[in-house]
Amino acid sequence: MDLLNTLVDKGLRRELPTREEALAVLATSDDDLLDVVAAAGKVRRHWFGRRVKLNYLVNLKSGLCPEDCSYCSQRLGSSTGILKYTWLKPEQASQAAAAGLAGGAKRVCLVASGRGPTDRDVDRVAGTIKAIKEENEGVEVCACLGLLSDGQAERLREAGADAYNHNLNTSESTYGDITTTHTYADRVDTVTKAHAAGLSACSGLIAGMGESDEDLVDVVYSLRELDPDSVPVNFLIPVEGTPLAKEWNLTPQRCLRILAMVRFVCPDVEVRIAGGREVHLRTMQPLALNLANSIFLGDYLTTEGQAGKADLEMIADAGFEVEGAGEVTLPEHRTTAGGGCGSHESAGCGSHEGAGCGSHQGGGVCGTTVPAAAPANEARTDLVAVRRRGAGTDLAPNA
C-alpha cells in the first residue's frame, strides 16, 4: 500500500503524517491489518529495537475521588465495589514497588485519586519517592496525582521524581461529555507545568469511550504538540457501576489499528499499552508489541491485569526482550540537551498516564472509500475483575 510506505518513510524521519493519512490507518480493513502492523513495526524497531519497557503501578490512595470522570471506577458516587483506602505509608508503597521491580519493571508509577494534591500530599509523595529510591538504585519514579498547582511540579522534581503522568484522554471537542468537574485546558496546563519543571512528561488517551476516528486523531495530534516523552494508550475497561459500563466498542483489530496510528504520529516516543489490553486485545496482545515498546506489568489501579509471569513469557515468546535498568529508553535526540522533539519542525510526540484535541480537518483520504465500522465488540465482563490484592490489602501483589 502506498499509504503504508509513505507512513514508514515519514516515521523514520520523524515527519508528521497528515490527518487524512492518520484517519486512513484507522479505516483500513481487517484484510490489510497485518500489513499495517508490519509497517508500524518497522518504525517501532527503528527507534526502539525489540526492547519492551516494563512499568509498575502503585495505587497510593484508592477511591474517594470528588471528580466525575465517566470512565473511572474511583469517580464521585461510584458503586463499583473497588478497594477504598487513604494514603499508603512510604514503607508500604516502597514494599509494593519492590514487587514490581523484582519482576523486571524499571519504572514505578505512583498514582493517587483526587482532583489534585495539596502541598501536604506533595510532602507525602516526596517521602514515598525517597523511600523507593533509597531501596532501589536507578529506579525511575513517575508521579500521577491529578491537576498540579504552581510550584508543585518543581517540588516533585526536587524530591526525586523523574516523570509526571496526566492524560488528555480524549479530544477537546468531546471532553465535556466525559468529565464536567474540570476542563481539557486544566489537563493541558498540568502537562505543561510538568514539562516546564524538568519532569519527563507522560500523557496519553483512552480509546473505546464512544469517540469517533476524528476524536482519536485529534487527541493524538494534540499529544504530539505537547511533546511528552511517553504516551500511554488505555483501552476503556467498562467497569460495572460506571457511566460507560456498556461501552464495549473495541475489537482486537481496532485496538491494533489505534496503536499503529499512534506509532505513526508519535514515532520516536515511548508508546505504552496501558489499561485494558487483556480485555480488548486478548490473544492478540503479542502482536501489539510490534507497535508499542512499553507495557504495565501485573495489575492496574483498581482492576486485575494479566499475571506478571505471563507478561514476561509473552514478551519472550514474541521475540522481544525486557529493557534493562541500565538501558536508556528514548532515542538519543530526545535525551540530549534541548530535550524532546518539540523543538524540531518534524518533532515526535509523547503522553502520560493519568487519572488519560485539537481540531480535525475532515475525513479519509481523497478518492478512497472508508470501510464500514467494525461491529461492536462482544461484552467480555468475565475479563474484568476488581483488584483485591497488592497495595491496600494484606495479599501479595501480582508482579
Concerning whether 357 is annotated as a catalytic residue, the answer is no
In whole angstroms, give the CA distance from residue 385 to residue 201.
30
Concerning whether 142 is annotated as a catalytic residue, the answer is yes
Concerning whether 109 is annotated as a catalytic residue, the answer is yes
In whole angstroms, give the CA distance from residue 342 to residue 322.
28
The answer to whether 139 and 107 are in contact (CB under 8 A) is: yes
According to DSSP, the β-strands at 294-296 and 321-322 are: unpaired
Contacts of 355 (CB under 8 A, 6+ apart): 67, 69, 72, 144, 146, 166, 167, 169
Rounded to the nearest 5 degrees, what angle is found at the Cα of 380, between the Cα atoms of 379 and 381? 100
- Nearest Cα to Cα of residue 138 among 340, 352, 390, 329: 329
List, in sequence order, the alpha helices (H) in the chain.
2-13, 19-26, 33-48, 90-102, 119-135, 152-158, 175-178, 184-196, 213-226, 252-265, 277-280, 285-288, 308-317, 332-335
- Nearest Cα to Cα of residue 169 among 198, 141, 204, 196: 204
The answer to whether 365 and 21 are in contact (CB under 8 A) is: yes
- Nearest Cα to Cα of residue 327 among 102, 106, 109, 47: 106
Q: Amino acid identity, residue 181?
A: T
SS3 169: strand
Catalytic residue among 14, 19, 44, 65: 65
Catalytic residue among 14, 75, 107, 142: 142
Query: And the C-alpha cell for 338?
Result: 534541548
DSSP run (H or E) holding 51: strand 51-61
In whole angstroms, give the CA distance from residue 350 to residue 232.
8
Catalytic residue among 44, 72, 224, 349: 72
Catalytic residue among 19, 187, 272, 334: 272
Q: How many CB atoms lie within 10 A of CB 363?
A: 15
SS3 281: coil
Catalytic residue among 109, 255, 266, 357: 109
Q: Amino acid identity, residue 195?
A: H
Catalytic residue among 202, 255, 266, 357: 202
Catalytic residue among 19, 69, 144, 387: 69
Active site residues: 65, 69, 72, 109, 142, 202, 272
